[in-house]
Amino acid sequence: MKSLSVHIDQNINWECHIQNICRKIASALGAIKRMRHLIPCNVLINVCDSLVQPYFNYCSVVWGNCDSGFSEKLQNLQNRAARILICANYIKDLNQLLL
């Protein structure tokens, strides 16, 4: 069932909702990555805040206690967004880059 853009199944394990969010975020991050060399960094951050961050925030109070595997997928997408914004490759440790 889908209510207010939140996918709810009979087990309320949020798998369908998290997969839908991950797909939308990955698509937005791909678009941001393709245009990151064309626009200034401050505009790029605003684009990321408007295209990606709402998916993380919308109804997170409801599905925020999801399974650790799902939360790990979301964390990986947030790490990917941070790497895209600072133009870092995926080999470097993100904790060292953000210090």
3-37: per-residue pLDDT in tens?
Answer: 556 656 666 667 777 788 888 899 999 999 998 88
pLDDT single digits (tens) 84-97: 888 776 666 666 65
pLDDT at 10: 66
- Which residues have C-beta within 8 Å of that of residue 77, sequence separation ≥ 6? 22, 25, 26, 29
Q: How far does the chain reach from its first CA to its final CA, in angstroms? A: 42
Task: Answer whether 0.95 is exceeded by the pTM.
Answer: no
Query: What's the mean pLDDT in 44-56?
Result: 87
Helix or strand (DSSP H, E) at 2: strand 2-3
